[in-house]
């Protein structure tokens, strides 16, 4: 039988710059350690068992209401990021448990309807909206229990969640792994979905990146992951070499121009519908706070109506938002 202390001793075998669970900066509120799990394993489990994590299953990745069974959702995206990140962490001798916890939690704050929903909330909510900040809010505040505020995660996991996107690096190498793994995963699986949907073909992709990474989904990911591991080994940061990073950015720019901002994907009627659904619900609950779920009432006094409505809508799945819109707005 293995106890937490045994697992912590095993972490002595990790690379010198790995973040060890026994050296964590800890939680905002102290908790007695678990008998069997390290601090980072405990965080991962809390994330997986959260309501916010379950809702990712019914949140859009890129394609709104796709006609097919094989398109990515926000949940499958999270799982693919986690797989890529764990592979990199394992081969760099870094903390796989910390990496997994950050990856599992990085998109908990995403809105319904993918980045379309994020753009709408950002435009109508005072102070704007950024999904990484909302993910942090989910784990710090919104996923509370009667005996605990938020999930009370460790500093390292929360830092990795907040800094999985944006200009600031994560404080740990494990957090930096998730940041680059997120990009590797979404670029490659979104290419796969875009080809499947007919928005682009393999022949449309720029030649230089394919010559470097390969033409197939598996080849590209294998090349990118291998380069991150080889280039980052023994260093105090995690990244690709300059040429691989440049070509990854070329693919990313192509995807923004030809997929993410393409009228074939972001049809005018779809964008209008997202704006209408989220905008209408947002303003309805601003004007009718008594219609919010009862468990939001205490938060109203603490955070104010705008924040509560933002939290409520950001937490919705695509289906729930559409059904609520039909029930409340269309029946007026």
Question: How many helices (H) does the chain have, and how many strands (E)?
Answer: 16, 0
The C-alpha angle with vertex 143 and arms to 141 and 147, in degrees rounded to 5, equals: 85
Least Cα distance to 20 among 87, 98, 85 occurs for 98
- Helix-strand-coil percent breakdown of the chain, rounded to 5? 65, 0, 35
Kindly indicate the confidence band of residue 332, based on its pLDDT and cuts at 50, 70 and 90.
Answer: low
* Structure token digits, residue 127: 């102070």
**pLDDT for res 71:** 83
* Structure token digits, residue 178: 């998730």
- What is the 8-class DSSP label of residue 303? H
**pLDDT for res 68:** 62
Span 320-328, mean pLDDT?
94
Residue in this structure with the two tokens 């729930």, named with its chain if needed: 320
- Strand segments, DSSP code E, in the chain are none
Burial class (CB in 10 A: 0-12, 13-18, 19+), 193: buried
**pLDDT for res 331:** 74
**pLDDT for res 261:** 76
pLDDT digits (tens, 9 = 90+) for 260-301: 877 666 564 566 789 999 999 999 999 999 999 988 888 898
- What is the 8-class DSSP label of residue 215? S
Pair 227, 216: CB distance under 8 Å: no
User: Which of 60-64, 65-69, 136-140, 146-150 is the most confident on average?
Assistant: 136-140
- What is the 8-class DSSP label of residue 257? I
The C-alpha angle with vertex 79 and arms to 316 and 125, in degrees rounded to 5, equals: 30
Q: Give the C-alpha separation, 246 to 240, whole Å.
A: 9
Q: pTM for this one?
A: 0.95
* Structure token digits, residue 200: 């682009």
pLDDT digits (tens, 9 = 90+) for 135-183: 999 999 999 888 899 999 999 999 999 999 999 999 999 999 999 999 9
Find the range with the poorest average confidence among 6-15, 111-120, 127-136.
111-120
Residues ≥6 apart with Cβ < 8 Å to 215: 202
Beta bridge partners of 73: 60
| Helix 114-124, helix 268-287: angle, nearest 10 | 50
Span 206-216, mean pLDDT?
97
Q: Give the C-alpha separation, 108 to 258, whole Å.
A: 27
Beta bridge partners of 154: 27
In the chain the first and final C-alpha atoms are separated, in Å, by 62
Pick the CATH number of 30-328 from 1.10.3210.10, 2.60.40.3880, 3.40.50.1100, 3.20.20.150: 1.10.3210.10
Q: Give the C-alpha separation, 22 to 46, whole Å.
A: 18
Residues ≥6 apart with Cβ < 8 Å to 35: 3, 4
Least Cα distance to 38 among 106, 95, 107 occurs for 95
How many Cβ atoms sit within 10 Å of the Cβ of residue 198?
Answer: 8
3-class secondary-structure state, position 148: strand
> Rg of the chain's alpha carbons, rounded to an integer?
21
């Amino acid at each position: 039988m293995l106890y937490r202390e045994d697992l912590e001793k095993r972490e002595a075998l990790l690379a010198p710059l790995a973040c060890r669970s026994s050296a964590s900066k800890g939680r905002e509120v102290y908790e007695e350690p678990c008998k069997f799990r390290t601090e980072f394993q405990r965080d991962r489990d809390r994330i997986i068992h959260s309501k916010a994590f379950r809702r990712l299953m019914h949140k859009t990745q890129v394609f709104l209401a796709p006609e097919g069974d094989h398109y990515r959702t926000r949940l499958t995206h999270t799982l693919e990021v986690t797989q890529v990140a764990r592979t990199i962490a394992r081969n760099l001798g870094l903390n796989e448990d910390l990496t997994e916890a950050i990856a599992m939690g990085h998109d908990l704050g995403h809105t319904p309807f993918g980045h379309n929903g994020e753009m709408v909330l950002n435009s109508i909510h005072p102070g704007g909206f950024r999904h990484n900040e909302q993910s942090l809010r989910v784990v710090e505040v919104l996923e509370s229990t009667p005996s605990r505020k938020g999930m009370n995660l460790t500093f390292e996991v929360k830092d990795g969640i907040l800094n999985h996107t944006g200009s600031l690096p994560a404080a740990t190498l494990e957090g930096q792994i998730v940041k680059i793994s997120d990009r590797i995963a979404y670029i490659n699986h979104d290419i796969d979905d875009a080809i499947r949907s007919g928005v682009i073909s393999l022949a449309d992709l720029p030649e230089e990146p394919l010559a470097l990474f390969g033409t197939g989904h598996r080849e590209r990911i294998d090349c990118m992951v291998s380069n991150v591991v080889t280039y980052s080994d023994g260093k105090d940061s995690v990244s690709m070499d300059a040429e691989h990073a440049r070509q990854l950015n070329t693919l990313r720019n192509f995807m923004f121009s030809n997929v993410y901002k393409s009228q074939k994907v972001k049809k005018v009627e779809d964008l209008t519908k997202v704006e209408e659904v989220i905008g209408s619900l947002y303003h309805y609950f601003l004007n009718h706070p008594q219609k919010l779920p009862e468990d939001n009432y205490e938060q109203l006094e603490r955070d104010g109506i705008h924040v509560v409505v933002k939290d409520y809508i950001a937490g919705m799945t695509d289906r729930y938002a559409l059904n609520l819109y039909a029930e409340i707005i269309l029946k007026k």
